[in-house]
Structure 1
Amino acid sequence: MAGRKRAAEDGGATTRSAKAAKTGSKKKGGPKAHMAATTFKNRALPLHVNITHTPPVLSTNPDDPESSTHADPGSLGSVTLVPSTFTTGSYGWKGSKRIQVEVEDGEGGGKEKVHVMLTINATVIGSKGAKDEDVEETKEDEKEKEEEHGDAEAEVEVEGEADE
C-alpha cells in the first residue's frame, strides 16, 4: 500500500503564508570600494610575497636571525605584486613568477624538480563597482566636443547657405 500524506491537524493545507515570515533580505555583494582605479594605481605600493616550504617563524625579537627569510632553508623564491586593473573592471595587485619546487621521488627517496608558474591576484573587495574618475571625465569631455563640433557644423551650413 502506497504511503499517504497526513492532513494538517486543522484539516487545511499548510501554505507559505502560514509559515514563519522571512527575516530581512540579504544584501547582494560586499563592501564597496570608494577609490577610483586610477587613484588606487597611483597610490598603492607593491606587495611582496615569499614562497617557502617552512611555516613562518613568529619572533618578537627583530634581531633574531631565524625570523629573516634569508635564513629560511625552505625558501623557494619571492614574488612582487604590482597595483593593476583587471579585465573584470576591479583592481588590486597581480604578479607571477616561474619557480622550481623539489618533490620527493617515491622510488629511490631522492628528489625531483618540477617547474611551476606561480600567479597571484589580490583583488580589492568591492572594487568592481568603483567608478573611475578619469573615465567619467573623458566621457564628459567627449560629449562637450561632440556638442561643439555639432555647433561648428551648423555654423558652416548657415554660412554656406548665405554664400549661395
Structure 2
Amino acid sequence: MDTKTQKRNIIIKEILFWKQNKMLPEQYCDYLLALYNQGENPDISDRERSKFPFMGFLTASLIFALIPFSLFVIYFTELSFVLQTAILAGFVVLLIFAGIYYSNKEMLLPLIYITAALVTLIYSVHITGVFFNGSTNITYAVLFMNCFAWLVSGVYLKYWYFTAAAILGGFILMVSIVI
C-alpha cells in the first residue's frame, strides 16, 4: 500500500470517528467520505461498528443495576444513614457523569434519565422516612414533587414516558389519598 492510500485510509477512519461521535453533522461527514472515496461507496458499515459491540449492552445493564442495588442498600443492609446517603448520592453523581459522557449517544441517555429518576425517587422517600418518621402527608408531598419533576422533565426533554409516568403517578397518588 502506498503512502497516498495510507493517508486516505487514515482520513476516512477519522471522518468515520467524527460521524460516529457526532463531532460534525452527518451531512458534512457523508460529503467528506464521498469526496475522499472519490464517489465510491465502500463498505463502511464494518468500520463504523464498535470494536466491542457488547459494551453498550454492558453499560446499560450496569446503569440499570443501580436501581435494585439502591433498594438493597436502603432496605436490606444495616448501614448507617450517613453511609446510605453517601452511597446513593454517589449513584446520582455517577449517573450525572454518565449522562454527560453519553450525551451524544441517543440510546443510553433515556436509560440514564430513567435510572436517575428512580434512584432519586427511592432516595427522597427514604430521606422522608428518616427525617419525618414516615409521615404520610410529607411522603405524599415528596411523591407529588417527584411526579411534578418528571412532568417538567418529560415536557422539556420531550420524553413521553416521563410525562406518562408523572400523570399516572399523580393519579395513583390522588386515588390513594382519597381512599
* TM-score (normalizing by structure 2): 0.25
Q: Comparing both structures, which one devotes a greater share of its residues to strand?
A: 1
Larger radius of gyration: 1
Structure that is richer in helix per residue = 2
